[in-house]
Amino acid sequence: MNTVKSRLSLSFIFAILCTVSGLAYGAESLHNAAGKGDMEQVRQLFSKGRNINQKDKDHNTPLHSAVKGGHADVVRYLVEKGAVVNSINRKDATPLHDAAVKGHNNIAAYLILNEADVSAGNHTGSTPLHIAAINGHADIIRLLLDNKADINVQNHEGNTPLHLAAGGGKKAEVNLLISRGADTSLRNNNGETPSDIARSSIKKIKNIGKQVIFAASEDDYEEVLQLLRMK
């Protein structure tokens, strides 16, 4: 009797493991297909009952993967089939954050049209506007501001999008933010204004610029400072 029970228990455990393994494989396949932009495979997997909102080890959904890959057709399909537009990963980033990182303007516009939260903060408290500013995506900045994103929102370090754009030497983005009403006098948690951040970056370039490759040149930062002084 005990032998029979043991066999039944082992069979039950094996069945559960197979089910979990199958679900995990299916989820991973859907993430991969979405990330590659393989619409045919995405459709096939969805028709087989794959969970469209299944999260991977980093808590990304297939929608996160499609957005990162810039696959607008897959993004539309997933949203139409019920993908959660404001789903967050382990770093509290939404698909709109990912669109802001990559500069996928059309995808960002589609997500916003489908009620993506333009004010969502990730694990650092940074909104999609912060992300667009630091990555130098002026079109995304315009889109977010046109959809009522807070231009002076501060993240957990007290930095506004203007702080981040100034710190990155993003001339076009600094100019855009100022023209749209960004407050140049706001200070972060260290008491720094956007101008202070830009000056600090210039000092770093002068001190260690020969050993380190900077995303922006000293001239870029000088132009940023000039823009900030004109305000």
Least confident range of 61-65, 109-113, 167-171, 189-193 = 167-171
| CATH, residue 225 | 1.25.40.20
User: Is 176 domain-assigned?
Assistant: yes
Whole-model pTM: value is 0.82
User: Is 107 domain-assigned?
Assistant: no
User: Is 209 domain-assigned?
Assistant: yes
SS3 label, residue 108: helix
Q: Residue 198: which of 222, 227, 229, 172 has the closest Cα?
A: 222
User: Is 112 domain-assigned?
Assistant: no
Please report the pLDDT score of residue 227 as a whole number.
66
Q: Compute the mean pLDDT over every residue in the chain, rounded to the nearest whole number.
A: 86
Domain count, the chain: 1
- What are the DSSP calls for 16-60, one per residue? HHHHHHHHHHHHHHHHHHHHHT-HHHHHHHHHTT--TT---TT--
Print the domain residue range for 203: 158-231
Q: Which residues contact 37 (CB under 8 A, 6 or more apart)?
A: 66, 69, 70, 71, 73, 74
DSSP 79: H
Ramachandran area for residue 148 (φ above 0: left; ψ -120 to 50: alpha; else beta)? left
Contact between residue 61 and residue 54 where contact means Cβ atoms under 8 Å apart: yes
- Over residues 43-97, the pLDDT tens digits come to 999 999 999 999 999 999 999 999 999 999 999 999 999 999 999 999 999 999 9
User: Is 206 domain-assigned?
Assistant: yes
Please report the pLDDT score of residue 201 as a whole number.
72
User: Is 71 domain-assigned?
Assistant: no
User: Is 58 domain-assigned?
Assistant: no
User: Is 166 domain-assigned?
Assistant: yes
- The distance between the two most distant Cα atoms of the chain, rounded to a whole number of Å, is 87
- Rounded to 5°, the CA angle 21-27-32 comes to 125
Contact between residue 63 and residue 111 where contact means Cβ atoms under 8 Å apart: no
| pLDDT of 204 strictly over 50 | yes
